Chain A
Amino acid sequence: METQNQMPPTSQPQVQQQPEKIHVHHSYIWLGSVRIAFYVIVASGISLASSLAGVISELSFGRSGEVFLIFGVLLLVLVLFVGALGISALVRWWSYKHLYYELTPEEFSLHSGIFNKQRIHVPYQRVQSVDQRATLFQRIFGVCTVSIDTAGGSNNKAITIPYVSKTQAEQLRYELFARKQYVMTGSGAQASVASFQVPAQEYAAPSPAQYAPGAPAQTQQSGNILDAPAEIWQSVGGVFGGMGADIAPVSYEYGMSNKELILTGLSNNTTFVVIVFGIIGVVTQLFELMDGLFSPASGSWEDAAFDAAFAAPPQFLVVFAFAFVAIMLVIWVLSAVGSCISYGGFKARRRGNRIEVEYGLLQHQFQGVDVDRVQSVVIKQSFIRKIFGYCEVSLGKIDAATADDDTNKGTLAQQGLIIHPFVKVSRVPEILAGIIPEFAGVPTEITPVAPVALRRALIRRGIIQGSGFWLAVVVALCMGAVEMFIAPKAPYDPDLALFMTFADPACIIGFALAFTLFVLDLIGAVLWAKSSGFAFNRSFMQVSNGGFSREVVSFPRKKIQFGYTKTNPFQRSAHTATITAVTAAGVGGTHVKLVDAREEDAQAWLTWVQPQRNMVG
């Protein structure tokens, strides 16, 4: 394992030699089969449980023959388990035999499949990033899943190599990039490629002192409590992990401070939901109170039925609301701890012209992207984070649809490459200047949306797309239907009367919810109109969309695939237009949109999108 891919890329690629077949780590066999066996056991356990329980319940203890039977059953289960393990191990072993990769002079090729042979070839110059991720068990044993991203159009797929030991993965990464560089620059890169042939013993001590003394790493001395366990993970590297390998100098690196890490957890989206439900609860109470004030003594059959059903209806609602809030709080704490752990050991660094990010205490992720491939810089502020003046910074890149189905990526990896999950807005320029100085010329003078956009936003967000408005409509319709069809019969039918007692509070809650949402929609619309706009200068464009949350997207002009303006008749009479710039970020492109820019601004922008010969880029 240590020596098998020490084959240097410079060893005369012209000479056709049989490339070495490199197999993945042997934990592919047993770790994989343990997992399969576990699934088999669970499945058979569920299907056998009822019959086993039946057998056991029929037994009366005391007679030796039946004790023997129990042992027999247990033995059978054991045999089943071992058998399942054995069979899956055999299958895994067989497919292990046929799973290997080769580094030929021109391309990387991955062979797999027992009966359906599959060969994937990747020319070195197409390799864009080599990412790693590891589940908890994989981390314990020091293996990881490597995925190789290629530059592709809209339907590119990442190539995944499962169960590669850490050392092998690191070496594969450097090997691929070295060969890519070699292919791209020809023999001129001989010297730089040669520098990748670091003898194995030099891997042994990856410390900052190892970096080239001429370029000292400019690291930020901010750490957090979870850095220590993450570093232990890193240094131990798991059972078969081997030692880490750091080669290219790091020019900028940062982690997260304690405060940032904890606040990341506390300020995630669940918090917002908890607050919204809190507001709804309060508004419901207010409506209840008003209801009580305005119709204190109607004395109708409704009140009688209501009183019969619940001695103290408000208390019932209060208890209900409190239970709900309590459940939400528990969920909130759990998700906070969860996101703390998933961002534990967060490190982002600039190495050469690549940006690398790693995070995750239990499920480890390593992602990298070439600076030339960064499509956009996205600064996101959710509502809570906006209040405290913090934001999340991520990079847009072309994402590949991963070929394997057991992706543990979750939601974290879906938002591009997060280079800082929680940072004070005032620190963002500093971080960007350190990690991606290429984006230094981003314009700052924002052209706001047209003044008429406020009115249009109120109508659009409050009514046409207004969740509150439409909820109120639905509730009103339901109420009308109940009044029309059920209320006339209610006095004669006790069941329906009981139903009516439920219908009223339901309507009140519904209207409270609708009212809250409506007000939030309107406030959001005002905030949006006040804080949205776009800017462009010679080589960059920036679009900011505000509201309760805020998103600022900046991207270079040469990453705009195409742009368009769109108007509907109302916009034409109001002299505004929607502008949309389309970049290739994400899977199949990202549309960055700003509604209701002034018509002349939109025109100027569209002219700017047109390539001009005398301009660079």
Chain B
Amino acid sequence: MKPLPLNQLDPRIKSVWRLNDAISATLLFVCCAIGFVIAGLVDPDPSWEWVVVGIMTLIYVLTMILCVVVLPPIRYMRWRYEVSEDYLDIARGIVWRKRFVIPFIRVQNTDTRQGPILRLFGLSSVTVATAAGEHEIPGLRSEEAEQLRDRAAELARLAQEDV
């Protein structure tokens, strides 16, 4: 097996993932459970509603443990990238492991993005788009992301317009 790419993401990305997943899981849980909670409160003889809510809470707690405690370190370990002279190498995935090779001469545009959570941790994500889909490197220190973007853009400028 070819050695994995060298660079890892910024360690703070783990917290970003935790926060992101926790927020979306909580929102989903609230949306699903609220109907049953109201039904349980209104129903004069509530029994099954609370059972449903209980099952949902159990699933929610398990998901939270998985997303907050178990997955982020493994994901962080598996997420690697390397910007070589003329291609971008990405390895990621825990169960389904993927290894991408994206030649820079096929890259059409690159940009950096920063959502509120990423900004909270002072991180940025870099997106590299080809004519057939885009790839995101999710968490890099902002100045590192800028550098990477500039470098990718510079290499991409050499791309032929021949799609």
Residues in A lying within 8 Å of B, measured CB to CB: 151, 153-154, 372-373, 375, 398, 558-569, 572, 582-584, 588-590, 599, 603, 606-607, 609-611, 613
Contacts and interface: CB of A to CB of B under 8 A. Distances in A.
Given A609-B101, A611-B103, A561 B132 contact: yes
A451 to B, nearest CB: 20
12 contacts: A153-B131, A561-B132, A562-B103, A564-B100, A566-B97, A568-B97, A584-B130, A584-B163, A606-B99, A610-B103, A611-B86, A613-B86
A609 B103 contact: yes
Contacts of B131: 153-154, 398, 561, 584, 589
Contacts of A568: 95-97
B161 interface: yes
B50 interface: no
Contacts of B103: 560, 562, 609-611
Given A562-B103, A584-B131, A590-B132, A606 B2 contact: yes
A567 B92 CA distance: 11
B45 interface: no
B163 A563 contact: no
A54 B87 CA distance: 76
Interface string B121-163: 0000000011111010000000000000000000000001111
Closest 8 CB pairs of A and B: A589-B132, A584-B131, A561-B132, A561-B130, A562-B102, A564-B100, A611-B103, A609-B101
B133 A582 contact: yes
A588 B96 contact: no
A154 B2 CA distance: 32
Contact of B1 (A563, A583, A599): A599
B100 A569 contact: no
B contact residues, range: 20 to 34
Contacts of A603: 1-2
Contact of A562 (B84, B85, B132, B162): B132
B21 to A, nearest CB: 22
A567 B84 CA distance: 23
Contacts of A583: 132
Given A562-B102, A611-B103, A154 B133 contact: yes
B98 interface: yes
Contacts of B102: 561-562
A468 B72 CA distance: 39
Contacts of B161: 151
Interface in B75-118: 84-87, 89, 93, 95-106, 108
A373 B162 CA distance: 7
A310 B139 CA distance: 71
Contact of A565 (B86, B99, B163): B99
B133 A569 contact: no
Nearest to A567: B97
A599 B108 CA distance: 31
Contacts of B106: 560-562
A398 B132 CA distance: 10
Contacts of A590: 132
A603 B95 CA distance: 19
A562 B100 contact: yes
A563 B96 contact: no
B120 to A, nearest CB: 31
Contacts of A561: 102, 106, 130-133, 163
A590 B87 CA distance: 20
A564 B99 contact: yes
B132 A566 contact: no
Contact of B108 (A153, A565, A606, A613): A153
Contacts of B97: 566-568, 572
A567 B104 CA distance: 24
Given A154-B132, A398-B163, A603-B2, A611 B105 contact: yes
Contacts of A606: 2, 99, 101
A290 B101 CA distance: 57
B87 A610 contact: yes
A590 B161 CA distance: 19
A571 B105 CA distance: 31
Nearest to B155: A611
Nearest to B108: A153
A599 B1 CA distance: 8
A249 B75 CA distance: 59
A563 B100 contact: yes
Contacts of B89: 610
Nearest to A569: B95
Given A566-B96, A583-B132, A606-B101, 5 more contacts: A559-B163, A562-B100, A566-B97, A589-B132, A611-B103
Contacts of B130: 561-562, 582, 584
A73 B1 CA distance: 84
Interface centre among A153, A375, A561 (most CB of B within 10 A): A561
Contacts of A613: 85-86
Contacts of A611: 86-87, 103-105
